[in-house]
Amino acid sequence: MESTLKMIRAAGYGRVSTEEQANEGHSLDAQREYNLKYIENEKWILSGYFEDPGYSGKNLNRPDMKRLIQEINDKNIDALVVHKLDRLTRDIKDLYEMLQMFEKHNIKFVSISEKIDTDTAMGRMFVFMLGIFAQWYRENLSEEVTKGMRARAKKGIPNVFVNMFGYTRTPDGELIINEEEAKWVRWIFEQYLNGKGTPTIAKELNNMNIRRTRGGRWSQTKVMDVLENQHYVGNITWKSRKDDEEDRIIRKGTHIGIIDQETFDKVQRWIQRRRDGFRSRNSYNYAFGGVLRCGKCGGRYKGKYSVSGGTITYNYVCSNKERYHTCDQSSISETKLVKMLFKSLDMDNQNLFWKDDVKESINSEEDQIRRAIKASEERRERWQMAYGDGFMPYQDFSKRMKEEMQRVVELEEKLSGLPGAVVSTLDPTEVISIMQDIQDNWWYMERSTQKQLIQELFQDILILKDGKEWGIKGIAFA
């Protein structure tokens, strides 16, 4: 009867460094004899033998070691035998990574002197202990590197180890402005302040064949990295992954900035307003997108348009009414809204400028939504326990969890539609003066200009329809 046992293809490996040549116990001939005899006794098939004479074990940069690794990756080896563990490598990190590679490719590993055999419990325990030491090595190294980087940042020395877009890094680590790239850094800031979003800026850079430092294409994330990078105003900024944002180190650097501080600060305010929902995120020219709020439910009004007889009409509708049907406020045309805004803006009309009762109504709805989310978490936890204890069938559990997660998504979207904290930085007198100056010219402006003005001047405009009459109930300036 033909044997069904798999024939194991085994390889041996030996290494000596120059100072070990005279040591008979470490000689290549002795290692080869031990390794080949072990393979023969196990009745394995010798698939290859690898030797690196005169090479240190401090790393894996050895000719036959590279050839061995390639054979393993090509799945030509089932077992590897060495005379002693340090013949493979003296570096614990490399050793641990090699053992992970053996596990990935199901390689049986044997070290004769230490009696390590990964098929035995003792061998597997050794691999486990090695993992602990390797983790300690990595964490200790990481801590030392972090200490060094923190010290550099406090001295105003950049922790930049490759060229940063807009700068060239000297061998000493100094940042020198690269004028060809710096003009595109300035262009990115200008475009953002002109109302373009990061996806649009990235697309235009790629269309113009402007590449990042290493030739990569631009993305929304990479554009935002530029806009938020303190290095571009001549500062040094750094924090470790474990640090909180308030622990970030910011120092004046020794390099020259590309962007002036005023422009940089203005961009940061605009970024934060977009994140807080106070600026429109879409590319359409809805002047009041992200600014207009419902005075009844606190939800955000969304811009929509319709076409009739070749004429485009712009309107705004409460998102809570459109998506969740939880509000009964009707839509409002942009024409009516603009006329109402200009009519309402008056320094004598102080009751419009964001009152506490408006904030309280919004906070009340926020509390309700958060309580609903918390209740959902508690329900899901009970269902998980019931399913785990065998008191709920899987189909019932799966159906309930799916429906509840959809409900949570809707609640979180609704929560994100509520206004955030209102902190006005513009003087109302200044805003009203600007609006009065442009009132007569409003209808002749480009829609993109209208949007930029409203988004820059207003943080929130609350509207409410009382019976048949619309009115503005609260205004928060940017």
User: How do the domains of the chain map onto residue ranges?
Assistant: 9-134, 167-275, 292-354+423-477, 366-416
pLDDT for the residue 214: 73
Give me the mean pLDDT over the 28-50 stretch.
Answer: 91
Examine the pLDDT at 336 and tell me if it is beyond 80. yes
Of 3, 17, 56, 433, catalytic: 17
Examine the pLDDT at 384 and tell me if it is beyond 80. no
Look over the chain and give the mean of its residue pLDDT values, rounded to a whole number: 78
pLDDT tens for each residue of 6-28:
689 999 999 887 655 544 446 78
Band the pLDDT of 72: cuts 50, 70, 90.
very high
Take residue 130 and report the two structure tokens written for it.
């090695």
pLDDT for the residue 65: 94
Angle at 62 between CA 57 and CA 67, to 5 degrees: 125
Examine the pLDDT at 374 and tell me if it is beyond 80. no
Euclidean distance between CA atoms 419 and 358, whole angstroms: 11
Take residue 369 and report the two structure tokens written for it.
């939504």
Strands 79-82 vs 108-111: parallel, antiparallel or unpaired? parallel
Give me the mean pLDDT over the 157-170 stretch.
Answer: 72
Examine the pLDDT at 465 and tell me if it is beyond 80. yes
17 is known as an active-site residue: yes
Examine the pLDDT at 66 and tell me if it is beyond 90. yes
Strands 292-294 vs 249-252: parallel, antiparallel or unpaired? unpaired
**Which residue would you say has higher pLDDT here, 3 or 56?**
56
For residue 333, what is the enclosing H or E element? strand 332-333
pLDDT tens for each residue of 397-442:
778 877 877 777 777 666 655 554 444 556 777 778 888 888 878 8
pLDDT tens for each residue of 244-279:
666 666 778 888 999 999 899 888 888 877 666 555
Looking at domain 9-134, its CATH superfamily turns out to be Resolvase, N-terminal catalytic domain (3.40.50.1390)
So what's the architecture of 167-275 in CATH?
Alpha-Beta Complex (3.90)
Euclidean distance between CA atoms 425 and 284, whole angstroms: 26
**Which residue would you say has higher pLDDT here, 118 or 75?**
75
Give me the mean pLDDT over the 27-44 stretch.
Answer: 89
Band the pLDDT of 156: cuts 50, 70, 90.
low
pLDDT for the residue 238: 63
Euclidean distance between CA atoms 405 and 413, whole angstroms: 12
Band the pLDDT of 298: cuts 50, 70, 90.
confident
